[in-house]
Structure formats: structure tokens, C-alpha cells
Chains A and B, each alone.
Chain A
Amino acid sequence: DAKTTQPPSMDCAEGRAANLPCNHSTISGNEYVYWYRQIHSQGPQYIIHGLKNNETNEMASLIITEDRKSSTLILPHATLRDTAVYYCIVRVAGSGTYKYIFGTGTRLKVLA
């Protein structure tokens, strides 16, 4: 089972900040939180990841709460091209490696 929960859908006005929440209450102390997005009929695109400090790159910012049980992905100025399904992932131990178990994600619709 996925180790994260996200709201199924959100709307955001174009040009405004999109704030996508994720709960990961069972995350262990050394596990990263990864964010990806999937635009229709494409493979998931890596956005950002973090451990406990807030992170920012050219695509987004990631805010992780102090207890690390939740995080928020922020798209500072959403555009129509940001309409996608956003996945928050915490890795799960597999056979000799870690693997991703995808949850249902949040379907973000950016409105003109």
C-alpha cells in the first residue's frame, strides 16, 4: 500500500500559487519525500524531493513539516500547462532496493 494520502482533486486559478498537500504520517527518519506529476498519456515527470528541510528548484517548492508527517508542494505561479496528476511518494523497501508505490495522487486543474 502507498504510504501517502492526497486529496483526489484540486482547482487553481492561472497565475496563482497551487498548494498540494500530502500526508505521510508513517515516514521513517531517513526516508525522502518525492513529488512527480503525470500529464495525460505521458510518463511521470520528476519535480522535487526532500528529507526535512524545505527545498526549492526551478519548478516548485517543497515544504515539509517539522515532524515530517506531511508536506506541501507549491507551484508558485500555476499555468495551464501545470494541469496534471501530482503524486507524492515515500519509498517502500523492496527486494534489495527501494520501490515506489503510487497512490491515487491529486488531479490539479489550472483554470484560465
Chain B
Amino acid sequence: GAVVSQHPSRVICKSGTSVKIECRSLDFQATTMFWYRQFPKQSLMLMATSNEGSKATYEQGVEKDKFLINHASLTLSTLTVTSAHPEDSSFYICSALHREGTDTQYFGPGTRLTVL
């Protein structure tokens, strides 16, 4: 149980284009999902908290107009990187909050974004 998927697993795009990443909780409903970014040899950095049916809450220093988050259902959150640039190349990871018991986060496998 508590499986989270991400799609795509890997994407390469040209500079200036937008890329959408999907995060799905497969066997549970998640009113809250989280988006993280991880650069090589670094730890995960929380970007934003996504709540179903409401606006996402962004961490300090994360541009909300550049990283658009939509959490339209209890099993799906999307992250759109708009007008991507090479410096946006990173490993993007989502998690979904499983509220049964003690609010444990379960993570997706990650999406490797490369912007040329």
C-alpha cells in the first residue's frame, strides 16, 4: 500500500518551453502533496505544499509563477515548470501525505528534468 507514481520519469526539453510533471497516489487519497527538488549530491529541498482544491503554499525563494502547481483531485497533483531554463534542470520528487495513523509522507520515484 501507499504507492505514489510520477510521470514522466525523465524529460528533456528545449529552453523556453514548459514541462508538466504528474504525481499520483495510486492506492490512497491525498489531500496534501508536496513537491521537492534535488540537485546532484545535495539533499531534497521542499518547494511547495499542494492542497487539494486550494492554492499551493510555496517555500521562500521558490517562484510561484515559474513553478505552477495544481492539485485538482484527491489523487493527482501536477507541477508545471514554465519557460524552463538550463538552471531548472534537476530531479523533481513529489510526495503524498497518507493521513491514516501518523501522517506519513510517501514519495514518488522522481522525475529527471534536463533543459537544453
Contacts and interface: CB of A to CB of B under 8 A. Distances in A.
Nearest to A92: B46
B97 A97 contact: yes
Interface in A84-112: 87, 91, 94-105
Interface in A5-61: 32, 34, 36, 38, 41-46, 49, 51
A95 B112 contact: no
Contact of A46 (B32, B36, B104): B104
Interface residues of B, number: 27
A85 to B, nearest CB: 8
B91 to A, nearest CB: 7
Given A36-B107, A96-B51, A99-B34, A104 B93 contact: no
B43 A41 contact: no
A5 to B, nearest CB: 13
A69 B35 CA distance: 29
Interface string B85-103: 0000001010101000011
Interface of B: 2, 4, 6, 32, 34, 36, 43-46, 49, 51, 57, 91, 93, 95, 97, 102-110, 112
